[in-house]
Amino acid sequence: MASESGTLSATAASLIPKARAGRAQRAAGLLLALCSAALCLAEEPLAHTARVLTSYFVTLQIGALLKGACYLAEEIFHLETRHRGSFWRALGACLHLRWHVTLLLVSGSAYAALLDGDRCSLGLHLILSCFCQLLFLALGLHKPSAVEISEMSERSKQNVAHGLAWSYYVGYLKIVLPRLKESMEKFSRANPNVLAHRETWKLHILVPLSCSICDDLEKADSNIQYLMDLPETTLTRAGTKRRVYKHSLYVIRDKDKLRTCAVEFATPLQSLYAMSQDEAAGFSREDRVEQAKLFYRTLEEILQGAKECAGTYRLIAYEGSGEAETHFLSQEILRHLQQQCREEYAVCPGSSCSTDLSLQISGSDLPQPLQSDCP
C-alpha cells in the first residue's frame, strides 16, 4: 500500500488505523439526550430529582479534588526539578483548581439548600463521598483506559512514533528527497536505458509493520539484486564536514523481466524493534506494531504537507515479514511499480508508459536493455 495521495488504498486502510474522529464525545452527547428523555418520562418530583442530581455533582467534584490532592502529595517532592520551584504550578498541574472549586461550591450550596436544613444528611453524604472516591483511587480504578491513553498521546503528538517520524523527515527525507530528481536526471544521462520510466523516479521506502528489517536486501529476497548507487549528495551537517547521502538502485526480477528502482527500508523502525527487545524500554510487541502503524500514518501526513517532496517518494507498508514466502518482498515492490505504471497510463493513455525494464545480464554483470513496454 502506497501513499502519496490524501486517501489510503483499500489494502492500506485494512492495516493502518485512521485518526480517531471524536465519536466517543458524540456518543456521550447522544446518551445524555437519552438520559434526559428518561428523566422526563420518569415523572419524579422536581425537588427530589434536583437533590439527587446535585449530590452527584458534589461527589464528582470531591473525587476530582481528592485525586488532585493525592497527586500533589507526590509532586511537592519534585517542585524544583519538575515545576521550577513553584507550588502553584504543581497544583495547577494536578487539577483545574478554579473550575473544580467553583463547581463544588455551586453544587454543594444547591445540595445543602435542597436538604431543607438536614445537616446530618449533608455531613454523612460528604463522608461517604470521600470514602468511595478514596477507595476508587486506592484501587487504581481512576487510571485511564488503554484507548484513552492512546488517544491522548496521539492528540498531543507524544507517541514514540511521532518523534521517530519527524526525526526521519527533518534529519533525512527533507534533505534527500528534494534532490532526488536531480540525482536521477544525472544518473539517467550517464545510463540512458536503465531508468526508462520517469514515473518510478522515486525513493521507495519500505515500512514493514513487524519492524523486522534486513540490512542486506539481496539476502532478504534473491529476486532483488544491487545494481549501483545514485550520485551522492554531500553536505556539511551538524558539525560533520562533507556528510554523504546516497541511495542504492536495485534490479527486481519479475519472471523473465528485470525492473530497476531506488529502494530502502525506513531505518527508524529498527529503533522500535530494538525497544521491543529490551526489557528496560518496557515496550511490548503489541506496542511495537501499534507504533509502527502510527509511524506510517504520521510520516505520510508529514510528507503530504511537504511540497518540496511531492512526487519523490513512495511509501510501501506491508504486514508480513516475508519469512513465509521466499519472494514476498520483491513481489510487494513489483506490485507498486506496476501500480505506478497504471497510474501514469491512466493520466496520459496515448503515451508510452513503462515500469517494465527487460534486461539481459552481460558478461560484465551490468544490465543491458532489450525492450521497455507496459504489460
In the predicted structure, residue 170 carries a pLDDT above the cut 90: yes
Residue of higher predicted confidence among 279 and 177: 177
In the predicted structure, residue 207 carries a pLDDT above the cut 90: yes
Residues 233-276 pLDDT 10s: 888 888 889 899 999 999 988 877 888 889 999 999 999 999 88
In the predicted structure, residue 6 carries a pLDDT above the cut 70: no
Least confident of 73-87, 89-103, 225-239, 352-366: 352-366
- Span 138-146, mean pLDDT? 75
Q: What is the pLDDT of residue 363?
A: 37
CB 223 within 8 A of CB 337: no
- Beta-carbon neighbour count of residue 160 at 10 Å? 20
Cell of 13: 486502510
Q: What is the pLDDT of residue 300?
A: 93
Residues 25-79 pLDDT 10s: 788 888 888 888 887 887 777 777 777 778 888 888 888 888 888 888 888 898 8
In the predicted structure, residue 16 carries a pLDDT above the cut 70: yes
pTM (whole model) above 0.95: no
In the predicted structure, residue 154 carries a pLDDT above the cut 70: no
- Span 5-27, mean pLDDT? 65
Q: What is the pLDDT of residue 278?
A: 85
Bridge-based pairing of strands 240-245 and 313-318 is unpaired
Q: What is the pLDDT of residue 303?
A: 95
Residues 101-136 pLDDT 10s: 787 788 777 777 766 656 666 677 778 778 888 887
d(CA 139, CA 137): 5
Residue of higher predicted confidence among 232 and 104: 232
Residues 298-347 pLDDT 10s: 999 999 999 999 989 999 998 865 455 778 888 889 888 888 866 654 44
CB 247 within 8 A of CB 183: yes
Q: What is the pLDDT of residue 2?
A: 46
Q: Among the ranges 7-11, 118-122, 156-160, 265-269, which has the highest mean pLDDT value? A: 265-269
Bridge-based pairing of strands 257-265 and 203-208 is parallel
Per-position DSSP letters for 193-235, written without gaps between them? TTS--GGG-SEEEEEETT----S-HHHH-TTEEEEEEPPPEEE
In the predicted structure, residue 348 carries a pLDDT above the cut 90: no
Task: Provide the 8-state DSSP code for 244.
Answer: E
When the pLDDT of each residue in the chain is averaged and rounded to a whole number, the result is: 79
CB 246 within 8 A of CB 229: yes
Which residues, 6+ apart, have CB-to-CB distance to 233 below 8 Å? Answer: 175, 176, 179, 183, 244, 245, 246
